[in-house]
Amino acid sequence: MTDLAAAATEHARPLDPSERMAEALFGLIMVLTFTCTISAAQAGREEIRTMLFGALGCNLIWGVIDAVLYLMGCLAERGQGIATLRQVRSAATAQEGQRIIAGALPPVIASVLPAEDLERVRQQLTRLPEPPPRPRLSGREWKGAAGVFLWVLLITFPVSAPFLFVQHDVSLALRISNAIAVLLLFLMGHEFGRHAGLRPWRTGLVMVLLGSVLVAATIALGG
């Protein structure tokens, strides 16, 4: 059982679908705060160039920050796992160890596990090798951090591309950019709804509305 769990963890995706959608939404909102401030009537090539560099630079920095926060979360999760393992091993009685294990599980799962199953888990944990003194990041976490960075950075390009290829008509470029942004918001909401067990189409429409409100609020607050 331990070998199977380790193998499953090793081959699991560094970022689950909800994490991918969250990172893409974050990056999309950041770039929209730049593109939506362009004035179609007054913007020239210099203003467009400044906007594009600003959007790219903003998502580049926030991609790095978000990747660091992701690694910090992974370290905290691993540290909690090590602490739980040590608590189970040092428990005075088997019943105390079972309570610690039940407390570390999601409530719904813990509520249906009988004491016999909890005891089997406790015995398996006591036979595991001694954990490291401090949590360490594995290759999977570093891949996840790289994925976070790339999601935030790459979402800049679909929304910014119209300003590169339709420079002769800023108004048209802005309409194409906004259409792409709305489509991306809908697709992200649709995928999130599908994985979360919600109605994909309705969730997609809600994501478009939510993204629009967040962008408007960010611009209004000087973001």
| Domain-embedded: residue 213 | yes
Whether 101 is in a domain gets the answer no
Q: What percent of the chain has pLDDT over 90?
A: 9
Our count of domains for the chain comes to: 1
Q: What whole-number distance in Å separates Cα of residue 130 and Cα of residue 150? A: 35
Considering the domain boundaries, does residue 68 fall inside one?
A: yes
Nearest residue to 101 (alpha-carbon basis) of 129, 134, 131, 125: 125
Three-state SS across the chain?
A: CHHHHHHHHHHCCCCCHHHHHHHHHHHHHHHHHHHCCCCCCCCCHHHHHHHHHHHHHHHHHHHHHHHHHHHHHHHHHHHHHHHHHHHHHCCCCHHHHHHHHHHHCCHHHHHHCCHHHHHHHHHHHHCCCCCCCCCCCCHHHHHHHHHHHHHHHHCHHHHHHHHHHCCCCHHHHHHHHHHHHHHHHHHHHHHHHHHHCCCHHHHHHHHHHHHHHHHHHHHHCCC
In a domain, 127, yes or no: no
pLDDT at 100: 92
User: What would the pLDDT profile of 151-192 be if each residue is shown by its tens digit?
Assistant: 888 888 888 888 888 777 777 887 888 888 888 888 888 888
Q: Which pLDDT does position 72 carry in this prediction?
A: 93
Q: pLDDT averaged over the chain?
A: 80
More confident position, 69 or 165: 69
Q: Is residue 176 part of a domain?
A: yes
**pLDDT for the residue 120:** 92
Residue 124 domain flag? no
User: Taking the CB of residue 24, how many other CB atoms lie within 10 A of it?
Assistant: 20
pLDDT at 68: 92
- What residues make up the domain containing 187? 15-75+136-220
The answer to pTM > 0.95 is no
> What secondary structure, in 3-state letters, does 128-171 show?
CCCCCCCCCCCHHHHHHHHHHHHHHHHCHHHHHHHHHHCCCCHH
Q: How many Å apart are CA 209 and CA 199, to the nearest integer?
A: 16
Mean pLDDT of 196-215: 83
Q: For residue 116, is it within any domain?
A: no
The answer to whether residue 105 is domain-embedded is no
